[in-house]
Amino acid sequence: MTGDLPEGWRIARLGELGEWGSGGTPSKARADFWELGRIPWLSPKDLKRPRIGDSIDHVTQAAVTATRLRLLPPGSVVFVVRGLILARSFPVALTEASVTINQDLRYLVPTRDVVPSYLAWVLRHSEPRILEAVREATHGTLRLESDTLRDLLIPLPPLSDQQRIVEKVEALLVQVNTARERLTRASEILKRFRRSVLAAACAGRLTKEWRGGLGGPTTAGLDDEADMDGLPELPDIPSTWATVPLGAISRDVQYGASVKASNDPSGVPILRMGNIQDGNLDPSDLKYVGHAEAINLRGFLTEPGDVLFNRTNSPELVGKTAVVAESRPMLFASYLIRVRPRQDVALPEYVSFWLNSPWAKSWARVVRTDGVSQSNINAAKLKRMPVPLPPLAEQQAIIRRVRQLLTGSAALDAPLTAAQTRAANLERAILEKALSGELVETSPAQL
């Protein structure tokens, strides 16, 4: 990065470009810190836009005074340094109002010779380099050391050129972002369709004609009726179905292995929470455990038909589920729970449909335990989860129908993903040119 810079530019160490600091969480036991609070208190869940002026949670002036929270001025750059989001992205935002932050974020208030927007764009462009420095912290979450970020080297043009670069980049990205928003809406339509399919499947609506009102097999007499106390109301189900706890239709419910993994493909693959994507297992980003260590982990090897439930993740992702289809030996990691259904009463694919259904997402919001940056659902709660259970023959019919419907929507995934990738690459290409001095001409005053 030190070569081929335009005249007047220099390489700067990020730690030298402003005031650095972290945030905190005022005591939740102090009502006067939170009730009627008007000061934005940012956490990772708020960093979903490049510019941010408000937050989900707010604190009072009493909280700022008593806890010495730094009230950041508009134009501060804030970014995530702790949380599972760092497994896939490095959220960065520029503040447009006075805000405070929690301990999972860091701030950088730029010096006067640095345009805040320029710094924010540089950090976004540096995401691949930054994510390489992510490490596992205690309690299994992920973290970035502040010193790693402070030592990051970035190209720094003269102030006037920084401003012109920002103006040009943001003008170009208006068109790119419009396209990305349309692609995001298309992706959301597909997700809503899939959710509606699963909701209809697990309420018996997809197989109404299949039943035909002719009676037939029933599960309605099964024992172990599920406890619904405090849970969302279940959908109406056919009279031939039962509602039973998941534990009653499972022969085994087990936590995964806590073991270090590497990128060495000569070992045994280990499935992690990132391998569960949209109700399926994605083996494209596997880690591996050495054979010498794996030999002591035979009890954690998966079999076809195992249902893997993600017990710890961000609040919006905890509970995602997939079925193991491959017969090759694979381990499963500690953030997963393996459910082995009793296949004489419950088929794995149907169980997975239910665990990924809209009702299951509502259930997860009720039963999960929320930490600072992640949520957890333990095995005991999972075993008590109520399951609307059709007879086996109807489960098979539901699986066939869901496959038919989802296969059609899956055909749209590849072109949609390709278009999203092209849009993301276009943004990266624009930033690459901007940060190499190719997007705008150097100001004559700087020559």
Kindly state whether residue 186 falls inside one of the protein's structural domains: yes
| CATH number of the domain where residue 363 is located | 3.90.220.20
Kindly state whether residue 124 falls inside one of the protein's structural domains: yes
> What's the start-to-end Cα distance of the chain, in Å?
21
Distance of CA 302 to CAs 63, 231, 278, 305, 402, Å?
49, 31, 20, 9, 24
In this structure, the answer to whether residues 379 and 317 fall within a common structural domain is: yes
Q: Tens of pLDDT along 227-241?
A: 788 899 999 999 999
Lowest-confidence region among 176-185, 267-276, 355-364: 176-185
Instruction: Identify the residue with better confidence: 260 or 445.
Output: 260
Q: Which helix (H) or strand (E) holds 93?
A: strand 92-95
pLDDT of residue 138: 67
Q: Name the domain count of the chain.
A: 3
The pLDDT of residue 372 is above 80: no
The C-alpha angle with vertex 143 and arms to 139 and 146, in degrees rounded to 5, equals 140
Burial code (b: 16+ CB inside 10 Å, e: under 16) for 251-286 equals eebbbbbebebeeeeebbbbbbbbbbeebbbeeeeb
Q: Tens of pLDDT along 139-179?
A: 668 899 888 899 999 999 999 999 999 999 999 999 888 99
What mean pLDDT, rounded, does the chain reach?
Answer: 91
Kindly state whether residue 5 falls inside one of the protein's structural domains: no
The pLDDT of residue 447 is above 50: no
In this structure, the answer to whether residues 343 and 267 fall within a common structural domain is: yes
In this structure, the answer to whether residues 56 and 95 fall within a common structural domain is: yes
Instruction: Report if pTM > 0.85.
Output: no
Kindly state whether residue 258 falls inside one of the protein's structural domains: yes
In this structure, the answer to whether residues 203 and 243 fall within a common structural domain is: no
Q: Tens of pLDDT along 375-413?
A: 999 999 999 999 999 999 999 999 999 999 998 887 888
Nearest-angstrom CA–CA distance, 322 and 337:
11
- Mean pLDDT on 296-323: 95
pLDDT of residue 218: 61
Beta bridge partners of 177: none
In this structure, the answer to whether residues 365 and 224 fall within a common structural domain is: yes
- pLDDT band for position 446 (cuts 50, 70, 90): very low
- Mean pLDDT on 329-352: 96
- Mean pLDDT on 321-327: 95
Kindly state whether residue 427 falls inside one of the protein's structural domains: yes
- Mean pLDDT on 10-33: 95
Kindly state whether residue 3 falls inside one of the protein's structural domains: no
Instruction: Identify the residue with better confidence: 362 or 87.
Output: 362
**Token digits of residue 22:** 């972290």
Q: Looking up tokens 């103006």, which residue turns up?
A: 167
Distance of CA 192 to CAs 207, 225, 400, Å?
20, 30, 20
Kindly state whether residue 2 falls inside one of the protein's structural domains: no
- Mean pLDDT on 352-363: 97
**Can you give the residue range of the structural domain that contains 287?**
218-390
Comparing CA positions, the residue from 40, 14, 153 lying closest to residue 101 is: 40
Q: Phi/psi zone of residue 256: left (φ > 0), alpha (ψ -120 to 50 degrees), beta?
A: beta
Nearest-angstrom CA–CA distance, 135 and 147:
13
